[in-house]
Structure 1
Amino acid sequence: MVMDSTPDSIPQPSSLITPPPNIEPPIDETMDLDELEQFAHAFSKRRIKLGFTQKDVGIGMKKLEANYVSQTTISRFEALNMSFNNMCKLKPLLERWLVEEENSLKNSQPAKKAIGGKRKKRTIIDKTVVSKLEWSFRKNPMPMVEDIAVLADKLGMDKKVVQVWFYNR
């Protein structure tokens, strides 16, 4: 038996690619990715400026929502390293936490922070500053104390932070 190979029996590529009707990806019209990115960046900067760690935020969220949000979750949110839907769910909670903390600071009643040890808070270095530090490291991986002081002044950083960065690098 011979199969008829007429052009009518061969499926056309366009008919294989065309999606079925009435199937569209869900779109959240109230929030877009750019808005989430901007909020995450602004939230991180504001949190640091207020002097809170990611752990402090998680504990503070528990007071607001009766749910503990881990430091890892806050970190992933700030790094845009979680799903869009999860970020959309977390954003209003973080906004509320931020408003509560700013209001409590305005009223001179700072909220209780997490009880920590004697350890200094982690220093966050901006990407542009890191690139300058990397350039300096390539030029001189073991700078003298005077060189570190000059570099710290140029970058507007504490001398000890630059020294530790070089040590860790």
Structure 2
Amino acid sequence: DLEQFAKQFKQRRIKLGFTQADVGLALGTLYGNVFSQTTICRFEALQLSFKNMCKLKPLLNKWLEEADSSTGSPTSIDKIAAQGRKRKKRTSIEVSVKGALESHFLKCPKPSAQEITNLADSLQLEKEVVRVWFCNRRQKEKRMTPPGIQQQTPDDVYSQVGTVSADTPPPHHGLQTSVQ
């Protein structure tokens, strides 16, 4: 019964065009219990305790009835959804601009606020877009660097040129083959 309800709830919520965050906010405004997007997500995925699922079901059922009955006319649910946190539309960055950002990142992965402002102005982007791009790019760098290997700055790379000896094994992430 709970599984079936959770599945139907998710389908109807999506069909009505509400996000999980909208539902959580609406429950708070309508019935006094604010729930996070995470809680609604876990309800839909059946990842809450049985007791919590049972507590949440009647509230979500009431919300669905309210949402169903109000389709077509702006109601309290629509107003509540409009109050929800509005996210900025995803930014698309042109290939040439991305190349310029990458090139700057290789020289300086952590630019100052002034450098970000200058770069944003020169590329005709918002400062926040450039700042977030650098944050995301540093995170990508972290993910792509194997554990135990220190990240190198461009200066480190240039200072090591010519220091490889015949005894130095190739950087194969710990895998070595013996030559016979």
| TM-score when normalising by structure 2 | 0.45
